[in-house]
Structure 1
Amino acid sequence: MADTNPAPDPLEIGIILYPGFTLLDLAGPQSALGLHGRTQFFARTLDPVVSDTGAAVVPTATFTHFEGRLDVLLVPGGFGTNDAMRDEALRAFLVRVAPSAGYLCSVCSGSLILGTAGLLANRRATTHWTLFEALEAVGAVPIHERVVNDGNIWTGGGVTAGIDFGLKLLAELRSEDVAKLTQLMMEYDPEPPFATGNPQAAGPALVSAAYAAMGEGTIRETVSIAAARAAEMRA
């Protein structure tokens, strides 16, 4: 007998762009979710937005010209996070659109951008392993896991966690069978060449080198901005 179940409506996916975002933060989940929906990229203008490694993405809509509803609204992280946390246009867009979004999401330091928009207060969330102090500063409840969900708030850890995040959210939005099929289609079967993908496995020497490479001053600034934003929201 032919399958008479109607096909589900395409997912409506929105992804925030800002200068210095990390491409894989959005490409990972978009590769999983985008196979089942339509993706819009939001930014201040329609000019290409350059990532922290030089690749650029072309926005499809601006922060001021969107009135629809999204099933998923995703904020990626990146080395441009500190400036993004200060971006009032981005913050205003999140505050306006988030209440009607089905799922409010982030990968890596994108959770700090959600937090400085007042959207993670007392909510369980995760972020990149270097930034849990900043996540706590914005009022979230930091959870050291690769993917964390608290109601309709879904957050992924650092960079590559976005792929896991996308597949787990797809299982929530569609079904586990759909997510498994998508994982197979993506041939997502990771075999990391080195056992250094988290600070516990990497050891103190590599952790110190990673802090230095990422900029300890920048990380301290991130915590400071997060705390200042949180204080503004409480005032």
Structure 2
Amino acid sequence: MHAQIVLFDGFDPLDVVAPYEVLYAGGTASGGAVTVELVSAEGPRDVVSGTGGLVLRATAALDPARAGLVLVPGASGRVGQPGEVPDQDHDAGAGAGAGEWQQDEFIPVLLGRTLTTGLPALLAAAKDNPEVTLSAVCGGSLVLAMAGLLAGRHVTTHHMGLDMLDATGVHAVRARVVDDGDIVTGAGVTSGLDLGLYLLEREVGPRIAHAVEELFAHERRGTVWRPEGPVPAAL
């Protein structure tokens, strides 16, 4: 499995680094069955995160034709009001190019600004590729939802963004990890560890995932929610 983790201006570093390290370690443990790289819509470039100006380098352009996994992180910045949706013609900075943003902007604004780049079209092409699984951590689910790619699907995100998911026609699920087939999502920032481990288990096997779990001294939390089985009665 090849994983492409997307960088965009204002991304949350932990949303990227946690699954990157898990998947990279899974590749080592599996003898190369998993590979991972950092990409951007624009191609190779330094990308500034929303946390203290930390920079990570995208080494390639996102390739929606490449089989495997495409993972979208959330953003790091000021926390907007619950239910706040950026105005794409003003708050989201219509026409803004790479790097044209300020530190400490509201997270919904940073997420919405991705819609003014080439990222939505690339993600749409990846979603149409039957050999690609789309994944997201935290606010990355909102990027996919605002791009119109998650309507009718079961998805999770940070608990503060669940109402925003509902507003886009998504079935928001309050769970640590949600597996809806070719869409697999994680909740708040540290869930990137759990998401990465689950993806290893799903794609490579539980023995590889367990070896990485032990290496990182991290015990996964919560049940992976799937749209299967009987609907539970009210508790």
Q: Same fold (TM over 0.5)?
A: yes
- Which residue of 2 is the match for residue 81 of structure 1? 111
Give the root-mean-square deviation of aligned CA atoms: 1.7
Q: Is 1:138 aligned to residue 168 of structure 2?
A: yes
Whichever residue aligns with residue 18 of structure 1, its letter is F
The answer to whether residue 29 in structure 2 is matched with residue 39 in structure 1 is no
Tell whether 2:112 aligns with 1:113: no
For residues 46 and 180 of structure 1, what CA distance do their matches in structure 2 show? 33
For 1:38 and 1:25, locate their aligned partners in 2 and report how far apart those are by CA, in whole Å: 18
Higher helix proportion (structure 1 or 2): 1
1:27 and 1:189 map into 2 onto residues whose CA distance is 17
4+ residue segments displaced more than 6 Å: none
Q: With structure 2 as the length reference, what TM-score do the two structures score?
A: 0.71
Equivalent residue for 1:49, pick from 37, 47, 50? 47
1:165 corresponds to which letter in structure 2? L
Counterpart CA distance in 2 for 1:77 and 1:154 is: 14
- In the TM superposition, what is the alpha-carbon distance from 1:83 to its structure 2 partner? 1.3
Q: Does 1:96 align with 2:125?
A: yes
> Contact 2:64–2:125 at 8 Å: present in 1 too?
no
Query: What residue is the counterpart of 1:174 in the other structure?
Result: 204
CA deviations over 1:132-173 (Å, ceiling 9, x no partner): 111112221000011111112100001001101111111101
User: What is aligned with 1:225?
Assistant: none
- Which residue of the partner structure matches residue 153 of structure 2? 123
Question: Cα offset for 1:45?
Answer: 4.0
Query: What fraction of aligned residue pairs are identical, expressed as a percent?
Result: 34
* Residues 64 and 122 in structure 2, CA contact (< 8 A), matched pair in contact too: no
* Number of equivalenced pairs: 177
Which residue does 2:7 correspond to in 1?
A: 17
- After TM superposition, the score normalised by the length of structure 1 is 0.71
**Deviation sequence 1:89-127 (CA, Å, 0-9, x none):** 110111122222431100001001111222211110001
Aligned mates of 1:69, 1:127 — CA distance in 2: 25
Q: Cα gap change, 1:70/1:26 in structure 2, threshold over 3 Å: closer, same or farther?
A: farther
Partner of 2:66: 69
Offset at residue 184 of structure 1 (A): 0.7
How many angstroms apart in 1 are the aligned matches of 2:139 and 2:184?
A: 13
Unaligned 5+ segments in structure 1 are: 1-10, 191-235
Q: Pick closer, same or farther for the CA change 1:33–1:42 going to 2, 3 Å.
A: same
**Gapped runs of 5+ residues in structure 2?**
28-33, 76-106, 221-235
Aligned mates of 2:117, 2:14 — CA distance in 1: 25
Out of 180, 188, 199, the position equivalent to 1:158 is 188
Q: Equivalent residue of 1:48, what SS?
A: strand
For 1:119 and 1:68, locate their aligned partners in 2 and report how far apart those are by CA, in whole Å.
17
Report how far residue 68 of structure 1 moved: 4.1
Instruction: Give the alignment partner of residue 186 of structure 1, picking from 208, 212, 216.
Output: 216
Larger Rg: 1
Distance 2:207 2:183 in 1: 22
Which amino acid letter does the alignment assign opposite residue 147 of structure 1? V
